[in-house]
Structure 1
Amino acid sequence: MTEATDSEHFSMLLDKARQFAGEYIDHLEERPVFPAEKSLGAMGRLDEPLPETSSDPVSVLTQLHEIGSAAAVTQTAGRYFGFVNGGMLPVGLAAKWLGDVWDQNAAHWVMSPINSRLEEICERWIVSLLHLPQETAAGFVSGTTIANFSGLCAGRNELLRRRGWDVVAKGLYQAPQIRVIVGAHAHAAVYKCISMLGLGSVNVEKVASDDQGRMRLDQMPELGETALVIAQAGEVNSGAIDPIGAICERAHASGSWVHVDGAFGLWARVLPSMRDACAGIE
């Protein structure tokens, strides 16, 4: 193939993907939210030995569309209420496609100036949208679990640093104990992060919640410089928000660290009528 035919072939494949995506979108309202048994059974056709040679690219896309589109959960048509899964805007999806074609490594500015600049702009916009202090820093990660992991890791390391323990150099062997304070309705992802960070389930102290899943202030234990407090903005079933401001005041007065799991409830700060619900998070 020449460079020209390579380019033409690439464009043809992208056009084919766009065609199949359009067909999927055009039939969203007709699809069941969860795939039918026939569609689920058809996935067995994908289970074949590793090919010895490459396959025809158009055939691969066609097979993915014919089998995969029918077996997809229809969560983009406004009828899906199974889990707290985000939707998409058409322009967001189109921009994602363009970004996929760019195929950038966004680790450093020198590796992708455009990605670095877009991150800076998005950080500024998010800070403005959520009415956070201008000096707020943002990090873009793959999802809420790694976001919680990163925030809790920062809290763990800082609490240990204050007590003279360099976790980067010494690890966690014989490290000072950290108490983890969580509400009774904390999300499962929080417990996953606690485990991954080596904090230990025996060090978790659960605080009773009200009937909406909010942490009860009157049930909070005595805190101190060993406590890592995990509050929640948006209980996964009710949407309830912990009394974050009061929790922060009590924790900061005693030298504790506060992490807020704001996976989706933090967006309440966008609405003037809901902004007070997250008061104190800044």
Structure 2
Amino acid sequence: MNELTLLTDADDRARRYTESIPARRVFPDQAALQALAAFNEPLPARGHAPEDVLQMLDDIGSPGTVVSNGPRYFGFVIGAALPAAAAAERLMLAWDQCASSFDNSPVAATLERVAAGWVLDALDLPRESAVGFGTSATACTLSCLAAARRVLLARQGWDFDNDGLTGAPEVKVVVSELVHITVKKALRLLGFGMKNIVFAPVNHHGQVDAERLPALDDMTILCLQAGEVNTGEFDPFDMLIPQAKAAGAWVHVDAAFGLWARASSHAGLTKGIEGADSWTTDAHKWLNTPYDCAMAICRDSEALAAAMNSDAVYLSGARDAQKNLTLEFSRRARGIPVWAALRSLGREGVASMVNKHCALARRIAQGLEQAGFEILNRVTLNQILVRAHTDELTVAAREAVQASGEAWFGATVWEGRPAFRISVSSWRTTESDADALVELLTGIAERR
């Protein structure tokens, strides 16, 4: 089989998989999971024919997938890939570009520069900001915090690039008590040390309490969040950020999915967020691009470019070359699916999608409350935090839904007790899908 025939076969298989999404279990059954053992084979001495490799991948791999690209996946704020974004991703694979700089890929550099401008426009963030398209919120947070520390040290006359951290002035980090694990991971990798982190108290909604904000100064990085992972709540930026700026602190906002509320009728939740110094967000969440696509956004474009610079004698690039804004040197053009998603949706389409998901979340919350479940959050966004009338039923209901294959959402713990979290973020999800989830959970509760 020649290359083009093989690619045609792959396209046909991918198309059949996409067509089958509505009929697939959301989580694989036991038979499909057991079949994955076939992949546990030794490295072959002689290679198999490419068509055989593809067939095995499809025959055994496809049944073992979680259908997060479908309408009834409600876990982890994983949006289904929009048709335009998915199609752009397929064409990108054919291009096979190393999108580090204009010299390596003029089209990638052009489209990612355009996409960066559109992102700032859609989110109404400072237009002078740099936008680095990275792999994840974790990687992008690490980039932003590295830039923040470098800037704060430079203000004290410390040359971080040459002198490192040995003997450097101390940089303090203040985060929410409910800070996301990816921010903790980035801080740990940067060497801050968890016992040195200051945790800001939160109110009963999960927002940082402005009246109990720890002391800040001009050697502090304050990390806030837009879209707390359980409740979907937003820190009160309009109260917290002015305090931080008055003290000379750097403000970073972890906004993996919540930042997209700013592009919708729910923009009021983000009031004051534009005053921060840096932000991270995921396109693969609420913008519904394929996975492995996030953004590091930094108001001081020079700060991010200087911290991430990777120019070499054999390959230099413009200050805003993506290799100089992200952790990756050799990289795929993650901004191209962002460009495709935004061009296909437009400003109105982004707002409509976000508004729809928020409305569906409220619909699910109302239905579950009527069925006797306890809704633990205000449902200000696309997150519903739920508990049954006993902890045992909470766990049993969640496990029954997962086992059914009809829908999927994950477990969490809220205020020391089991709960489950329902996230609405797929462009495929409709009112009928929301109602089906309520009906499924109601039936499970009634049978127990």
Q: Which of 168, 171, 196 is residue 164 of structure 2 equivalent to?
A: 171
Does 2:114 match 1:106? no
The yes-or-no answer on 1:231 pairing with 2:229 is no
Give yes or no for contact 2:22–2:71 (8 Å, CA) kept in 1.
no
For 1:103, give the aligned amino acid: D
Question: Aligned to 2:134, which of 109, 123, 141?
Answer: 141
Cα distance in 1 for residues equivalent to 2:63 and 2:245: 52
Task: Indicate conservation of the 8 Å contact 1:84/1:236, yes or no.
Answer: no
TM-score (norm 1): 0.94
**CA shift at 1:82, angstroms?**
2.2
The amino acid of 2:267's aligned partner reads R
1:201 and 1:217 mapped to 2: Cα distance? 23
Give SS of 1:139's match: strand
Any unmatched runs of 5+ in structure 2?
275-448
Contact 1:178 1:203 in 2 (8 A): no
| Alignment-derived partner of residue 281 in structure 1 | 273
Q: Which moved more, 1:111-120 or 1:216-225?
A: 216-225
RCO (CA 8 Å, sep 6+): is it higher in 1 or 2?
Answer: 2
Over the matched positions of the two proteins, sequence identity in percent amounts to 39
Q: Distance in 1 between matches of 2:129 and 2:122?
A: 12
| 2:25 counterpart residue number | 32
Deviation at 1:196, TM superposition (A): 0.4
Residue of structure 1 equivalent to 2:3: 10
Runs of 4+ in 1 over 6 A off after TM superposition: none
For the residues of structure 1 that align with 2:44 and 2:266, how far apart are their CA atoms?
55
CA drift of 1:31 comes to 1.8
Who is 1:4 aligned against? none
Equivalent residue runs for 1:1-282 within 5 Å = 9-271=2-264, 273-282=265-274
Q: CA deviation at 1:176?
A: 1.5
Give unmatched runs, 5+ long, in structure 1: 1-7
Q: Distance in 2 between matches of 1:276 and 1:150?
A: 28
Corresponding residue number in structure 1 for 2:428: none
* 1:226-278 deviation per Cα after TM superposition (whole angstroms, max 9, x unaligned): 2110010111111111111222111111111111111110111101x322221
Q: Which has the higher strand share?
A: 2
Q: Tell me which amino acid in the other structure corresponds to 1:114.
A: V
Task: Find the residue that maps to 1:202 and give its secondary structure.
Answer: helix
Shift of 1:174: 2.1
Which whole-Å deviations, capped at 9, do the CAs of 1:37-89 have from their partners, x for residues lacking one?
Answer: 11111111111111112211111000000100000001111111121223211
TM-score by length of 2: 0.60
CA RMSD of aligned residues (A): 1.3
CA distance in 2, matches of 1:246, 1:172: 32
Q: 1:109 Cα deviation (Å)?
A: 0.4
C-alpha deviation, 1:188, in angstroms: 0.4
How many residues get paired? 274
Contact persistence 2:241–2:251 (CA under 8 A): yes
CA distance in 2, matches of 1:86, 1:175: 42
